[in-house]
Amino acid sequence: PRHDKFFQAKKINSKGMILLATTGVPEFFAATSTTNDYLKFNNFIREVYRVVKNLKDKKLVIKPHPQPDFVNNIIDLIKEIDPQIEIVLDTDLVELINSCELLITFKNSTIALESMILDKPTISLQTDKWAEESEIVRKHGLVSISKLEDIEPAIHSILKDDEFKINLLKNSEKFIQKYYTNRGRASIFLAQFLENF
C-alpha cells in the first residue's frame, strides 16, 4: 500500500534537476561502524556535488532522510560544501521525484524503488558490502556504485548516453514488474483480503 501513490502518479519526463536523497546512517552509531564508513559517505556527497556543479544546466537538490539526528548532520555537511545548495525537508515525495531527471541515493534505499516506479534513472551509492549484493543490484535495476571514481562516468552515462539510459530504465521496469504485485491497488487488495479473512 505504501507505494500506491507512486504507481498512480502521472510520470513526468523532467530535465535539469538531480536529486540526491541521502539516507539515515544508523550503522554509523553501531559497534561495527568505522570512521571509514562515515568518510566514504561524506566523500560520496562531495563528489556528487563536484560532478553536478560542472554540468551545464543541471541543479543539485538535496533531500535528507527525515531521521532527526541525521538531518542536522547532513545540513551541516551541505552548508560546508556549498551554502547555496537547495535542501528540501518537507515535501511531497512523488512530486519531488517526478521533478528530477536523475535520482541518487545510498544503499538501495526505499526512495530508489520509488524513483524506479516513476521511471527515473537511479544511482545507488554503496557504503556497505551487503548493498552491493542485493537483488536490485544483481538485476541492474539501478546503477550501483561503490567507488568514488565511478560516480562521474555513471552520471554522464545516464545523462548523455540514450542507449545506456533506456537499458537501465528497462531493467528497472522488469525489476518493479517482478517484485511488486497489485501495483497502485495494494491498499484496495489488502482491504478486500482482510474483509474476506
The one-letter code for the residue type at 17 is: M
What is the distance between the alpha carbons of residues 104 and 21, in angstroms, rounded to a whole number? 6
Residues 90, 71, 53, 124, CA torsion sign: negative
**pLDDT the model gives residue 12:** 75
DSSP 8-class letter at 150? G
Q: Region 191-196: what's the mean pLDDT? A: 64
What average pLDDT does the structure give for the chain?
Answer: 87
DSSP 8-class letter at 27? G
22-36, 68-82, 114-128 — which one is most confidently predicted on average?
A: 114-128
Domain total of the chain:
1
24 in Cβ contact with 110 (< 8 Å) = no
Closest CA to 36 of 165, 129, 100: 129
**pLDDT the model gives residue 14:** 81
**pLDDT the model gives residue 5:** 67
What is the distance between the alpha carbons of residues 19 and 147, in angstroms, rounded to a whole number? 20
**pLDDT the model gives residue 31:** 53
Q: For residue 11, what are the contacts with CB-CB under 8 A and spacing of at least 6?
A: 98, 118, 119
> For residues 157-167, b (16+ Cβ closer than 10 Å) or e, as one string?
bbbeeeebeee
Tell me the CATH number at 72.
Answer: 3.40.50.2000
Rounded percentage of the chain residues whose pLDDT exceeds 90: 60
**What cell numbers appear for 60 in the block?**
543539485
Tell me which of 15 and 182 has the higher pLDDT: 15
Q: The domain containing residue 169 runs over which residues? A: 4-196
pLDDT over threshold 90, residue 72:
no
Task: Report the 10 Å Cβ neighbour count for 46.
Answer: 15
What pTM, to 2 d.p., does this model score?
0.85
pLDDT digits 0-9 by tens, 104-155: 999 988 899 999 999 999 999 998 888 899 999 999 999 999 999 999 999 9
